[in-house]
Chains A and B, each alone.
Chain A
Amino acid sequence: QVQLVESGGGVVQPGRSLRLSCAASGFTFSNYGMHWVRQAPGKGLEWVALISYDGSNKWYADSVKGRFTISRDNSKNTLYLQMNSLRAEDTAVYYCTKDLGGGAIDYWGQGTLVTVSS
């Protein structure tokens, strides 16, 4: 079955960097686009970024553009999110998710919590 396991979350000071990873299994990773979606404590879902199946195309939310970079290593079935210049408002659970196509997301990881605080 499809599994998405995030890692790399934690507490980080404002302005610092953090890299999230997502290990994918149970499907042909290199055939699908992948998203990062986040959820601040007690708030709704916020889309962060999308990467195409081969990594050639990337899209970002305006709130993270220029600070976050999504990437993937299809040889390792792993998705990444490099987060630089972190702000307090980046505090959230970050979900690694699989794109179904047609704008839908069919699988979600369990999430990893990122807390930006001094």
Chain B
Amino acid sequence: QSVLTQPPSVSAAPGQRVTISCSGSSSNIGNNYGNSYVSWYQQLPGTAPKLLIYDNNKRPSGIPDRFSGSKSGTSATLGITGLQTGDEAVYYCGTWDSSLSAEVFGTGTKVTVL
């Protein structure tokens, strides 16, 4: 069972904006010490996950600014603007849990472009 909770699915029309929430606790997302940074990953069908966001809101080179991340308290949010058909994928949040001494991932959210 995942420690981080995400909605199972979100959908929107092309060009619209979606947000995906990731809810955790004080031992992971809400941890004010150590590795409490949130990352987001995109997994296209049949492929390995890819890093979209790290350190809560930073984008690796090559990731468009349509993707954004934020964190507040024990929750984090991924935003996708200007939705494209190529954005259809499952998105996961992840972070380090200091109580478990383990990396933890969210339950995953499937994004559908209507």
Contact = CB atoms under 8 A, between A and B. Distances in A.
Majority-rule SS of A interface residues: strand
A45 B39 contact: no
Contacts of B86: none
Given A102-B35, A102-B37, A103-B95, A47 B51 contact: no
A47 B50 CA distance: 15
Main secondary structure on B side of the interface with A: strand
Nearest to A4: B48
Q: How large is the interface on B (under 10, 10 to 19, 20 to 34, 35 or more residues)?
A: 20 to 34
Interface in A59-118: 59-62, 95, 100, 102-111
Interface string A34-66: 010100000011110010000000011110000
A44 B90 CA distance: 9
Nearest to A95: B48
Interface of A: 35, 37, 44-47, 50, 59-62, 95, 100, 102-111
Interface of B: 2, 35-39, 41, 43, 48-51, 54-55, 60, 90, 92, 94-96, 100-108
